[in-house]
Each structure stands twice: as C-alpha cells, then as structure tokens.
Amino acid sequence: MKKERIKSIILIMLIITNLVLAEKILVNEKLWLSGYNFFVITRNNRKKNTVSVTESLSMPEKIIVNTGYQSSRFIYTRASENFASINGTASEVIKSAFRDTKSALQISRDDWYSALTAKSLYLSFSCSLTPDIYASFLGISALEVPISEFSDIVIGENGNVYLGGSNSYCKISASSSLISPIIQSAAEEHSDEESVINYSFDLNFDKNSGDESTVLSPMILIYSEPVTAFTVIPQNPAEKDGQVNEKALSGVLPIFGVNKSSARSYTEADGTLVYVENNGILKISPSGILTFTARGNGIKLQGGSDSSKIASFIDSVNRKMDIDADICLTFASISDGTAHFEFDYGIEGYPVKYKDACAFSATVKNGYLTEYSQILRIFNVTDNLGTSPDFIQALDNVIASYRGSLQEMRITKMYPAFFDGLSNEEISIDWNIDVDNVLAQ
Amino acid sequence: MNSSRIKTILIILFLFTDIFLALSILTAKKEETSISPEVMDAAVQILGEHNILLDKSVIPAKLPRASVLQADNVISDYESFAKTMLGDSFSQRGDGTFFNGTSELALSGDSFHFKSAKSSDNSENYTLSEAEKSVFSYLKEFGFNVTDAKVISSSSEGGIWRMKIRGFAQGLPVYSSELDVSVSVGGILSLSGSWFNPRDSIGEDSALKGITGILVDFASSYDGIKQKSIKSIESGYSVFDSATYHRSASLIPVTKIVLSDGDEYFMDSRSAE
C-alpha cells in the first residue's frame, strides 16, 4: 500500500514536471521560429468590442433630414440613436446609384440648393473626398463622375444622388423608394418640435452685401439655439503622476514593432519616452502625443486598400489603449502610392479639436506605415450639461477679433466642437470657426 | 493489467519524456552560446578582406547571456546636477557652463566635466586605498550608485591620484558609466565622464548575437584602410548616442572591440529574434 502511494506521488510529480517542461518549450517564443508559436499568438490577440474606424470611414459626420420646410430640418449626429440606420439606408441608395454613373452630369449651384432644400437627406462629411477614395470606402469600383472632389452628398426623396464640392456639383439620376420613409419618420418623430436650421445660403450669409465684409461658406449651418451637450473630461491613458506610464503602453508597443525587453529606449529631458527599433522610432510624450517615424521601409500593414490598412491599424492601437471613441476622417489623400489620412475624435456626435494638430495622422507608402501620430485620449462624459455660446455671438466675437487686420473675412467652417487643451480639465461644447484670411489690401 | 503495473509503465514513460524535454531545452540553450569552428573560420576570412586581423585566442570562450537594462542618468537635468555639484549658489555662463567661486561644471549630452579651482592639498603619503575610499564616498553622496563600481586603472604623481572608475551591471562593465577622477588628500580636484544608475533587472537574461555575427557586422562597418589587428573583445553594456542627453536610457548589451592602435568600437549585441 505504501509502495503504491509512493508510486502515485512519483507519477504525479513526473506529470507536473512534464507539464512544466512542455510549457517552457511551447510558450517560450525564443525556442520557436518567430511567428510560429500558436499559443503566444492567441495570448496576444484577445479582441475587444470598440468603435471600428474601418466601419466609420464611409460615414458622414452628420446627416440632416430635410422635410422640405426650413423650419423642419433635423440633425442626426453619429451619437444619435437613428444615425446608424439612416446612414445604412443612405449607403445602400448611394451604392445603387453609383453602379451606373453614365447619367451623371454637372449641375449648377442653384440646382444643388434646390435639391438640398427639397425633401432630402444631406450627408455632411468632415473632409473633401475624391470619387475614387469614397468608392474604396464603400467597397465598390472607381466612380466616373464629373466632379474631382466632394464633401457633401444629397439624396433626393426619389433617389437621385447629388455630390457637392466647393464650387462644383453633379447629379446622378437614380430611383429609390427608401428615402421617403426616412423623411416621413423623421417628421413624425419630431412632430412636436420646430427645428429651425438654416444654411448660410438660406439667409444670404454667403454673399458680400454692402458694408458687410464677412461671408460664410454657403453650407455652414446656422443654429438658432445654442448647442447643449454633456461636458467631457479627457484623460491621457499613457500618463501617471506626470510621467509616461510604461506599463500602460506595454500592449501597444508590439504593434509598432517594439520589443520592450530588447528595444533601445531612453527618456528625453522633457520626459518623452523614445523607443528605437530597426523599423522606426516611437516617441510618447507625457502629454500623450504618440509619434512613429519609420527608418527604412516602416511597418508592413495587412489588409486591403490603404484606407482600410490605416483604419485597421488605428483600431489595433485603440484596442490596446482601451480607447473607445468615435473616430472621424478629416483629411484623405492618395497619390503615387502614398496615402495620407487624418482623423478627429468624436464625442457625443461632436468632434474634439486640438490646437494646430489633429488627433490622428497616418501616412502609408507602398503598403508600409511610414509616419503615424496620435493624441492618446480617453474621454469621460460627465452628468453636467454644458451649453455653447449663442451662434451669432460666437460669430461676432471672431469678427471682432480679426477686425482691423482683415478687409474681408471668409468663414469657411463653423460647427459645434469640443476643444481639448491636453490638460485633462473638464471641457464644454463650443464653436469651431475656421477663417480664411483675406489680407487687407 | 492491474493499476500497479499501469503506474509503473506510466512512470517510465513520463521519466523518459521528462529526460527528453530537459535535454531538448539544455541543448537549445547550449547551441545558442557555442561557436562552430567552420563559421568562425569564415568570419576570420571576412575580417581579413576588410584589413582586420584576428587571432582566435582573443575570442571569448563563452558568450554571456544578458538582457537590456533600464538605467537613470545621474544627471536628472542640468540645473539640478549643477546644484548637486556646486551647491545652491551658482551661476551660468553664456556657453552653458555652470560655476561658483571655486568650481566649474561643464555639461554636454550625457557627459560632464567638473573641476575644482581650490588648491590641492597634496600628501605623498596619500595611499590608493584612502583615495578610493574618499572618491567612492564623494560619489555616493552625489547620487552615483557605485555599489558595483570598480577602479579599473590608477596612477599617482605628487600626491594626486588619477583613477578611472567604471560601473558594472549584472557582472558586465557599463561603458557609459565611466569616470576619470583626480583626487588628493584635500578632496576631489576633477571629475569627468558619464554615469547611469541601473534599475533592478526584471527580465530574464537572453542569448546575445553570436560572436561571429558581431565580427561580420564589425567588418562591414569598418572603413579603415590600414591593416590592424583586434587586440581584445569584451562584452558589456552601453547607452548609444551619448552626445544627446538622456534622462533615462536602456543599457544595451554590446561587444567592445579594441584594435591594435587603441581604437574602440561598440557593436550592438542584441539578438535579432
């Protein structure tokens, strides 16, 4: 009996030793060819549910449902409950229209305005897109349309699709019955409210008249009421006690090809953490600004088109940093094998702006990421309701600040936005105003 | 078949499996550190083609295992370091040099040069042991972690000891932690160099790049015309790019190659995997 017990103990010990030695071989990456270790790969690839940049590439920043009356236009931001379903339907109508663009023809600005102010859906994008880039977002073949860039799409109640650029417009004749129910539904949903949203051209704010030396771009929305939104507290996930939190970054370093245990790293005088690897230099500042600059080719990206490569990459970084925010495209350019994209964060349907910088910037050349920058941010929405200044008041303030230095002032963009000064303080909704300087003559 | 016999069979089976697994792990580790003669001969030939002669006797018999370490510059920032070395009352010149009434401190990148203008109080009876004790005590007081530091060379003239002190980490020399100091019985006369205080190592040591790979890398990067021979090969740690200031930095495993004319080359020895 005693002998049996000893045998059992020896057997158990041998089994445990076997498991430990096997674990050393199976889990230790260094004893396997790089990338071959199944267990290591599965350990490193846990997925999280976050907003996908890939899905949001083709999304407009906002959709305005025009019921045909100036007093009943309804804005749906990305945070609105019905935004996804309206956008989904709009995308189907657009894709259907884009299948046959032979009927596409250039139209006048007045025709564009007519389409916009009739019963329609207006999709407003944050940046100008070429037809090819937009087609790649939708996963369809390149478009042949008589317009080189557009930032606005209008879908008429009957399914006609209109593309609007800064000074050129085109119409693609199509037919669809999907838009009418959306317009009707919006009207019913908001039947007890009056939403007065004018476009700048509605009120002739886009025209120089008499002594008035300030003009607004025609598509700027004129809000009759201040905008309300919950205040937000931005947080730098890569910072702890004023220093870069290396532990928080450990998950994101491998995405940039940095092996933390063997990478050359150092801290600069201002506290910026720098990792130097063969494929590039990664820097993270204490204020949460992450930059990657390639040495040689850069980081080889997986995926289809350049836009989906970049979107997937951003999704990976955000997953590792637990960043769960809407990401909105603000600039896109593809030329000679080089693609450059810029994005903003979006909170509660409004963009978050930074001084002289965008939240994300990425350049891909021949399938390799050569440059990348991101302002690492987590946004905590509070229960406090904030109100923006009155639209006209905000406009007057900007005009007053420029008066004297400019003879004519053109407001190219004006929209509600949050401003993050990188100080982790509570921020309230405000107005973003872009001015095109026209110098005194 | 009764359970006793089954247990015996399983014990024998697992024993053989454990022996096999243990041998596999040990063999793999041994292969990481040993050098094949054929490969070495090829490396010697490649060096020869680049005007470098190598006597195989200078090649280390065994390659150390080491990992990248993190270290903090003893210079946390220039002004704080100046305050540490010169006291509260100091001024700064236009060229960036700090000074007080009796001493001067110049800083550049990770390096510093401290000079005391006070007259040296020399004594011919001042021993090396006393000098070492005085220097280490002084360095400790000013934030230098000298726990593993050693004096690697020293000389004396007229009661003044001149010594080179080097830091060590995980048993290997840290080439970026080297100080040239001159000291007399009156105190430190000059102190120059750079110093990094290593943090506690948290990772496992791993195999470094093979010596042949390092020698081939050196051959490709060497651009000398005159034929020279390799005098010594040594493993250690270094911070790269010391001309730029680093508040903290990685100590990278390197191989120091010294040529017959005294030129030193530091080759990154981290494994590519």
Q: Does A35 touch chain B (CB under 8 A)?
A: no
| Distance from C-alpha of A220 to C-alpha of A207, rounded to nearest angstrom | 13
Out of A10, A24, A269, closest to residue B245 by CB: A269
| Distance from C-alpha of A266 to C-alpha of A283, rounded to nearest angstrom | 10
B7 interaction partners in chain A (CB closer than 8 Å): 4, 7-8, 11
Q: Does B206 touch chain A (CB under 8 A)?
A: yes
How many residue pairs from chains A and B have C-beta atoms closer than 8 A? 77
Residue B73 Cα, gap to closest chain A Cα (Å): 10
Give pLDDT, residue B29.
66
Residue B162 Cα, gap to closest chain A Cα (Å): 31
Same domain flag for B135 and B185: yes
Residue B270 Cα, gap to closest chain A Cα (Å): 7
Residue A17 Cα, gap to closest chain B Cα (Å): 7
**B273 domain residue, yes or no:** no
Q: What is the pLDDT of residues B135-187, one digit of tens each?
A: 999 999 999 999 999 999 999 988 899 999 999 999 999 999 999 999 998 88
Chain A residue with the nearest C-alpha to that of B196: A266
**B221 domain residue, yes or no:** yes
> Whats the size of chain A, residue-wise?
441
Same domain flag for B101 and B180: yes
Interface of A with B in 352-381 (CB under 8 A): none
Residue contact A262–B246, C-beta within 8 A: no
| Residue A55 dihedral angles phi and psi, to the nearest 5° | -70, -30
Structure-block tokens of residue B158: 């007229």
| Distance from C-alpha of B64 to C-alpha of B93, rounded to nearest angstrom | 46
Distances (CA, A) of B112 to A401, B137, B246: 50, 19, 13
Same domain flag for B190 and B108: yes
Q: How far, in whole angstroms, is CA B231 from its chain's centroid?
A: 18
Strands (E), A301-377: 326-335, 338-347, 350-353, 360-365, 368-375
Q: Does A26 touch chain B (CB under 8 A)?
A: no
Out of A10, A268, A269, closest to residue B11 by CB: A10
| Distance from C-alpha of A341 to C-alpha of A372, rounded to nearest angstrom | 10
Q: Does B239 touch chain A (CB under 8 A)?
A: yes
Same domain flag for B171 and B222: no
Q: Does B248 touch chain A (CB under 8 A)?
A: yes
DSSP letter for A427, please: B
**B128 domain residue, yes or no:** yes
pTM above 0.95, yes or no: no
**B222 domain residue, yes or no:** yes
Tens-level pLDDT at each residue, chain A (441 residues): 688 888 899 999 999 999 888 887 776 545 444 444 444 444 333 333 345 888 888 899 999 998 877 667 889 999 888 898 999 999 999 998 888 878 889 999 999 999 988 899 999 999 999 998 998 888 888 778 899 999 999 999 988 999 999 889 999 988 888 888 888 888 888 777 666 788 898 888 888 766 657 888 999 999 888 999 999 999 999 988 878 888 888 889 999 999 888 889 999 999 999 999 988 999 999 999 999 999 988 999 987 888 889 999 999 999 899 898 899 999 999 988 899 999 999 999 999 999 989 999 999 999 999 999 999 999 999 999 999 999 989 988 888 887 666 667 888 999 999 999 998 899 999 999 988 865 433
B21 interaction partners in chain A (CB closer than 8 Å): 18, 21-22, 24-25
**B246 domain residue, yes or no:** yes
**CATH code, domain with B143:** 3.30.310.160
Tell me what ipTM this predicted complex has.
0.78
Same domain flag for B214 and B255: yes
Q: Does A25 touch chain B (CB under 8 A)?
A: yes
A8 interaction partners in chain B (CB closer than 8 Å): 7
Interface of A with B in 268-307 (CB under 8 A): 268-269, 271, 276
Chain A residue with the nearest C-alpha to that of B247: A267
Same domain flag for B162 and B264: no
- Choosing from B182, B198, B214, the residue where a domain stops is B198
Residue contact B239–A31, C-beta within 8 A: no
| Residue A331 dihedral angles phi and psi, to the nearest 5° | -160, 135
Residue A2 Cα, gap to closest chain B Cα (Å): 12
B207 interaction partners in chain A (CB closer than 8 Å): 30
- Choosing from B183, B198, B213, the residue where a domain stops is B198
Give pLDDT, residue A404.
66
Same domain flag for B133 and B219: no
Same domain flag for B108 and B217: no
Residue contact B4–A22, C-beta within 8 A: no
Residue contact A21–B249, C-beta within 8 A: no
| Distance from C-alpha of A287 to C-alpha of B50, rounded to nearest angstrom | 48
Residue contact B28–A31, C-beta within 8 A: yes
| Distance from C-alpha of A126 to C-alpha of A137, rounded to nearest angstrom | 15
Q: Provide the sign of the torsion angle of the four alpha carbons A32, A35, A39, A40, taken in this order.
A: positive
Residue B229 Cα, gap to closest chain A Cα (Å): 30
Print the domain residue range for B23. Answer: 1-33
Interface of B with A in 154-193 (CB under 8 A): none
Chain A residue with the nearest C-alpha to that of B206: A30
Distances (CA, A) of A33 to A25, A38, A260, B65, B221: 12, 11, 19, 20, 28
B248 interaction partners in chain A (CB closer than 8 Å): 266-267
Same domain flag for B53 and B17: no
Same domain flag for B90 and B168: yes
A267 interaction partners in chain B (CB closer than 8 Å): 246-249
Task: Tell me the domains of chain A and their CATH numbers.
Answer: 57-195 (no CATH), 234-380 (3.30.310.160)
Which residue ranges in chain B fall short of pLDDT 50?
none
A11 interaction partners in chain B (CB closer than 8 Å): 7, 10-11, 14
Instruction: Say which residues have a Cβ less than 8 Å from residue A38's Cβ, sequence separation at least 6.
Output: none
**B86 domain residue, yes or no:** yes
| Distance from C-alpha of A46 to C-alpha of B115, rounded to nearest angstrom | 57
Residue A31 Cα, gap to closest chain B Cα (Å): 7
A21 interaction partners in chain B (CB closer than 8 Å): 18, 21-22, 25
Out of A4, A34, A276, closest to residue B4 by CB: A4
| Inter-residue contact A430 to A231 (CB < 8 Å) | no
A265 interaction partners in chain B (CB closer than 8 Å): 70, 249-250
Give pLDDT, residue A439.
43
Same domain flag for B93 and B55: no
- Closest among B73, B239, B211, B273 to A262, alpha carbons compared: B273
B187: enclosing H helix or E strand:
strand B187-194
| Distance from C-alpha of A275 to C-alpha of B188, rounded to nearest angstrom | 37
Residue contact B11–A261, C-beta within 8 A: no
Chain A residue with the nearest C-alpha to that of B253: A262
| Distance from C-alpha of A327 to C-alpha of A59, rounded to nearest angstrom | 10
Q: Does B243 touch chain A (CB under 8 A)?
A: no
B245 interaction partners in chain A (CB closer than 8 Å): 268-269
Same domain flag for B86 and B189: yes
- Choosing from B145, B165, B198, the residue where a domain stops is B198
Out of B67, B77, B248, closest to residue A261 by CB: B67
Q: Does A247 touch chain B (CB under 8 A)?
A: no
Tally of structural domains, chain B: 3
